Structure 1
Amino acid sequence: MTNNCAIATGAAFGILAIILGAFGAHALKKVLSAEKLASFEVGVRYQTYSALFLIVIGYNANFQLSIMQWAYYLVTIGAILFSFSIYLLSLAEYLKKNFKFLGPVTPLGGLLMILGWGCLLLSAI
């Protein structure tokens, strides 16, 4: 684990969040209900928060500390589980697919992100 890895992951999350946010605001606005679109936007928002988190720790953290490595992995995996499960759940009706099995994945992803932020807090204390 290196600082550059965290920065690159954060940048990739940021790029994808902007693309998906624009896609949601323009293309999906016409095909999703207001409720589904709002859920999709929550996924984009939390992916953006995770991108910023990863970039900040990439520039500032000492990855020789295992707690910062944990912070990186927890936030990265948590953001993927949280945001991408929301994206698929929001699009399920439009895609005519049953993604209900992803329902429990979303809070698990959220929990992992919380734990990642907690690692950052512990490293500061």
Structure 2
Amino acid sequence: MTRLYLLPGALCGFLSVALGAFGAHALKDQLSERYIDVWATATDYQFYHSLALVLVAVLALHFKDSRKLRWSARLFLAGIILFSGSLYILAITGVGWLGAITPLGGVSLMLGWLFLAIFAVTELYD
């Protein structure tokens, strides 16, 4: 499992920094302040959850068979794609219906944290 999620976590972290810089420099004169804020939110959440994905991958080194960690990683990755991805597209295109996808990503991120918490309670505090 570590191999499946460490690389995506690291790449998502790399992309969050690159996209943050791109937004701050290349897009600052192209987008309205509102959409620059949307872009910044996307990069912030992508970065935080990239770190969470890396954490879960490292935990999986010691808890190889944990289904809770596996679900946490899947949900973090799905959340990054849905939440941040929809915000990036919204900021660039201004297409409002993409806002309907963003909450699905947010729920995925929250569930990723919930599965990580359940893992902690059930497998670390026995």
Question: Which structure 2 segments of 5+ residues have no match?
Answer: 122-126
Partners of 1:63 and 1:85 in 2: CA distance: 32
Percent identity reads 37
Other-structure match for 2:116: 120
Q: What are the Cα deviations for residues 51-96 of structure 1, in whole angstroms up to 9, with x where unaligned?
A: 1001111112324111111101111001100001000111114xxx
Q: How does 1:21-32 map to 2 (within 5 A)?
A: 21-32=20-31
Matches for 1:25-104 after TM superposition, within 5 Å = 25-61=24-60, 62-93=63-94, 99-104=95-100
Letter of the 2:107 counterpart: L
With normalisation by structure 2, the TM-score equals 0.90
SS in 1 for 2:31: coil
**TM-score between both structures, scaled by the size of structure 1:** 0.91
CA distance in 2, matches of 1:75, 1:88: 19
Q: Which amino acid aligns with 2:86?
A: S
Counting matched residue pairs gives 119
Whole-Å Cα distance in 1 between the matches of residues 113 and 99 of structure 2?
23
**Secondary structure in 2 matching 1:103:** helix
How far did 1:34 drift?
1.0
- 1:7-48 deviation line (CA, Å, top 9, x unaligned): 101101011111100100100001111111011000000000
Contact 1:46 1:83 in 2 (8 A): yes
Q: Which runs of 4+ in 1 moved over 3 A?
A: none
